[in-house]
């Protein structure tokens, strides 16, 4: 069974669809032995303000529909009560399985209890759902490695290491950086942070890097709901409090997500830095390969982003759903790292890649994630 599941996953991944802006995750009804028929699957996504969740939602929906299931796909506008109501409604409508990317990973305990009492399986999508026994499977990326990759990109940009994280030994000492984290109610934010901090630590300890503001805890660095405006405001405040209002001496900013990166860049350019890295803009990292940020990377403004192929994640979620709905148990590739406070949730984690200006073509365009035109315009078509 395990072999069948892995083979299905690989096939689905290989069949990855047409693009980030709504490509299909799967090309066929693979592997599902039970008749899907009228079976309803509820898919709860957090927000449409970030492209990745739109792409995720579309790809999961198309994959499930191709496998013959009915799908109720909902977005919750980043509002917790909206998401809980949507999940309640899916349960009432008779959904047999739920795929959930939570807004607040700790807010769904009672919905999941109801689901369990009705025998509804729950797959946590990308973000782990915490404080509940009733999470049956988790599909995500290796979130700790995302943080390592972000920090490595920053170190590379500052001349401290090469792209693989090997120390150059020629780095300037005392380079000032600032740190941003994601939303504290998102389990992933903590994994990204830990991966990044573990990677930066040795260079902070030996004085190569200095967190100028001294704000070096995740609580100080956090960005509620991952909001661009919130990050921009914090960066503006840091520029005023620590960098003489002009950014003097600031060399790099660790950013965990492209929306946050764009907020940071707006603040930096707002005090006259840059406008490009060549012209002195600090190195700013990112995540998700959002098209607006990919354009900024192509233009030499944002330094990097982490590419998480949402087509592959969607395919993985579809495979796990098909397994559950045909009475099987999906095969995890990690059974140790994702403790949600009640149990270690069996997980399937995908790998990520770092995108720099010179790898946009190979990673994003050649793979069909974005077209050349989209990268040029910075707008998803």
85: tokens are 């109501």
Work out how close the CB of 345 gets to ligand BGC at its nearest, in angstroms, rounded to a whole number: 15
From residue 345, give the alpha-carbon distance in Å to each of 72, 229, 348.
25, 34, 10
Q: Are 155 and 161 in contact (CB under 8 A)?
A: yes
Nearer to ligand BGC, 39 or 255 (CB): 255
Contact between 136 and ligand BGC by CB under 6 A: the answer reads no
Residue 357: how many CB atoms within 10 A of its CB? 17
Nearer to ligand BGC, 192 or 203 (CB): 192
Contact range with ligand BGC by CB under 6 A, out of 74-82, 157-165, 180-188, 372-380: 180-188
Contact between 186 and ligand BGC by CB under 6 A: the answer reads yes
Contacts of 5 (CB under 8 A, 6+ apart): 31, 319, 323, 328, 330, 331
Work out how close the CB of 126 gets to ligand BGC at its nearest, in angstroms, rounded to a whole number: 5
Contacts of 184 (CB under 8 A, 6+ apart): 190, 218, 219, 222, 224
Q: Scanning residues 306 to 335, which ones bind ligand BGC (CB under 6 A)?
A: 308
Contact between 243 and ligand BGC by CB under 6 A: the answer reads no
Residue 272: how many CB atoms within 10 A of its CB? 11
Nearer to ligand BGC, 275 or 378 (CB): 378
Contact range with ligand BGC by CB under 6 A, out of 70-78, 157-165, 169-177, 182-190: 182-190
Contact between 50 and ligand BGC by CB under 6 A: the answer reads yes
Contact between 228 and ligand BGC by CB under 6 A: the answer reads no
Contacting residue, 69, 156, 257, 348, with ligand BGC by CB under 6 A: 257
Contacting residue, 56, 62, 126, 374, with ligand BGC by CB under 6 A: 126
Contact between 127 and ligand BGC by CB under 6 A: the answer reads yes
Work out how close the CB of 101 gets to ligand BGC at its nearest, in angstroms, rounded to a whole number: 7
Contact between 226 and ligand BGC by CB under 6 A: the answer reads yes
Q: Scanning residues 290 to 309, which ones bind ligand BGC (CB under 6 A)?
A: 308
Strand order in the sheet with 97-100: 70-75, 40-45, 97-100, 121-125, 137-141, 347-350
Label the pairing between strands 305-307 and 353-355: antiparallel
Contact between 369 and ligand BGC by CB under 6 A: the answer reads no
Nearest by Cα to 126 from 108, 111, 138, 136: 138
Contacting residue, 150, 161, 287, 304, with ligand BGC by CB under 6 A: 287
Nearer to ligand BGC, 31 or 182 (CB): 182
Within 158-291, strands assigned E span: 175-179, 209-211, 250-254, 283-284
From residue 128, give the alpha-carbon distance in Å to each of 65, 208, 210, 247.
24, 35, 32, 37
Contact between 188 and ligand BGC by CB under 6 A: the answer reads yes
Nearest by Cα to 73 from 92, 54, 51: 54
Q: How far apart are CA 316 and CA 318, in angstroms?
A: 5
- Residues at the interface with ligand BGC (CB under 6 A): 50, 52, 126-127, 182, 186, 188, 226, 257, 287-288, 308
């Amino acid at each position: 069974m395990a072999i069948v599941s892995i083979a299905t996953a690989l096939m689905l991944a290989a069949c990855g669809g047409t693009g980030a802006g709504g490509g299909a995750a799967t090309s066929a009804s693979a592997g599902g032995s039970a008749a899907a028929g009228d079976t309803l699957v509820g898919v709860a996504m957090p927000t449409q303000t970030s492209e990745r969740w739109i792409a995720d939602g579309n790809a999961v929906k198309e994959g499930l529909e191709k496998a013959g299931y009915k799908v109720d796909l909902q977005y919750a506008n980043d509002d917790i009560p909206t998401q809980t109501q949507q999940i309640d409604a899916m349960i009432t409508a008779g959904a047999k399985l739920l795929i959930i990317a939570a807004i607040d990973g700790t807010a769904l305990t009672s919905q999941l209890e109801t689901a369990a009492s009705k025998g509804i399986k729950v797959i946590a999508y990308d973000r782990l759902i915490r404080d509940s026994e009733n999470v049956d499977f988790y599909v995500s990326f290796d979130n700790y490695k995302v943080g390592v990759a972000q920090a490595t990109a920053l170190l590379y940009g500052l001349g401290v290491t090469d792209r693989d994280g090997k120390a150059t030994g020629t780095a300037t000492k005392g380079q000032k950086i600032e740190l941003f984290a994601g939303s504290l109610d998102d389990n992933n934010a903590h994994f990204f942070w830990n991966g990044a901090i573990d990677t930066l630590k040795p260079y902070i300890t030996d004085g190569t890097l200095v967190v100028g503001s001294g704000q070096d805890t995740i609580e100080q660095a956090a960005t509620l709901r991952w909001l661009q405006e919130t990050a921009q405001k914090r960066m503006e405040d840091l520029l005023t409090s620590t960098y003489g209002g002009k950014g003097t001496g600031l060399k790099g900013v660790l950013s965990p997500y492209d929306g946050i990166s764009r907020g940071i860049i707006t603040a930096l350019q707002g005090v006259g830095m840059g406008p490009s890295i060549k012209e002195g803009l600090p190195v700013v990292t990112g995540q998700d390969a959002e098209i607006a940020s990919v354009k900024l990377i192509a233009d030499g403004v944002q330094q990097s982003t982490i590419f998480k192929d949402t087509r592959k994640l969607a395919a993985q979620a579809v495979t796990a759903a098909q397994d559950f709905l045909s009475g099987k148990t999906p095969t995890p590739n990690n059974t140790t790292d994702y403790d949600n406070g009640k149990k270690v949730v069996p997980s399937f984690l995908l790998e990520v890649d770092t995108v720099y200006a010179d790898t946009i073509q190979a990673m994003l365009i050649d793979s069909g994630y974005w077209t050349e035109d989209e990268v040029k315009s910075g707008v998803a078509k």
